Amino acid sequence: MKNQEAIMTGLGRMKIQDCPMPVPTPGEVVIEIHYVGICGSDMHFFQYGRIGSKVIDRPFVLGHECAGIVVAVGEGVTEFAPGDRVVPEPGVPCGSCEMCKGGHYNLCPDMRFMASPPNDGCLRRYLAYPARMVFHLPDSVPLLHGAMIEPLAVGLHAARMGGAQLGKCAVILGGGPIGMMTLLACRAMGVSRLIVADLFEKRLQNAVRLGAQETILASETDTVEAVLALTGGAGADLVFETAGNPVTLQQACRCAARGGCIVLVGNQTAPVELELMPLMVREVRVQPIYRYRNIFPIAIEALAAGRIDLSLTEPSLFPFEQAEHAFQYTIAHGQSIIKSIVELIHEDRTEVVSK
């Protein structure tokens, strides 16, 4: 076995290089990585070298959405064995702080998250990882879909925190990858009416394929007026801001119904000016989310039971040797691609096609 990694060597640059083969320490497993998804944060680091205070200042390995096969286990690991199909959750909390002990480990101040400086990511052939943050993947779930569980977890956490359920009307502002995962999550939780707004027609076509009943082309129509027209002036029970844009955040505040909820999913990295009085008189709840917690088992069960079908996302696959091209292509075609995935091992492609 030989290990290699796709390492970012500069802005917009990446190369494949040999790296040490990991040896599991006590409590760890070594995973042969088959698929790695490209996240919006990965692309931002690739283009700009930073997100907020997180700065890449050295050759760096991106990627935090992955799935693969266990090839070795460390001392004390009894729940996994070589050959097990697995998906690692990319954040490793300390496990002992008040947030962790209270079940809110996504808020752990000492979280070690893959591909978030200073922690390297998983865009490599073999990865050693703490077994406590690794989950079994049922045989019925393709490893390709396992690599999409992380963004699906974001959508599921957003839907859960917003109170998605039967009878609700939801508006999703932003038809990118996280917007589509939020759409799939809301659909699985029984949301009765799903409306998606985006600037690009191709994204809206994707949304309809994934289950949206209505769409709004924001480049040609006033989003707020369209939402109010579709809801008889009432607004939506749930508004998910997934674009991470100050404009869509301001729109969200005007789209929410009385007693409704705005879920902040997209990363808002710049200050935003908001009118709070209209929210107050309508008792609109504003619910930020940060990643997810206790969701991976739920996401895996939903996939295994067929409640969520990730094949609808029609991911674009790129060979490991073309990792740099995969990033460049995804950036250039972001308005049409739902998910790009780097493929390191080919075994699962026939399995996926057959399904």
CA dihedral for 176, 178, 179, 184, sign (positive or negative): positive
The confidence score (pLDDT) of residue 69 equals 98
Q: Kindly write down the DSSP assignment for every residue of 10-32, as one continuous string.
A: ETTEEEEEE-PPP-PPTTEEEEE
| Cβ burial, residue 275 (10 Å; 0-12/13-18/19+) | exposed
The confidence score (pLDDT) of residue 350 equals 40
pLDDT one-digit tens code per residue, 33-74: 999 999 999 999 999 999 888 999 999 999 999 999 999 999
12: left (phi over 0), alpha (psi -120 to 50) or beta: left
Alpha helices in the chain (DSSP H): 40-48, 98-101, 143-146, 149-162, 177-188, 201-210, 223-230, 246-255, 277-281, 296-304, 323-332, 348-354
The confidence score (pLDDT) of residue 140 equals 95
pLDDT one-digit tens code per residue, 228-245: 999 999 999 999 999 999
The confidence score (pLDDT) of residue 271 equals 87
The full set of domains in the chain, from first to last, is: 4-148+315-354 (3.90.180.10), 155-288 (3.40.50.720)
The confidence score (pLDDT) of residue 347 equals 61
The model's pTM is 0.94
Are 256 and 287 a contacting pair, CB within 8 Å?
A: no
Are 335 and 200 a contacting pair, CB within 8 Å?
A: yes
The confidence score (pLDDT) of residue 349 equals 46
Q: Which residue has the tokens 């996504």?
A: 106
Q: Which residues, given as ranges, of the chain have pLDDT below 50?
A: 348-355
The confidence score (pLDDT) of residue 270 equals 82
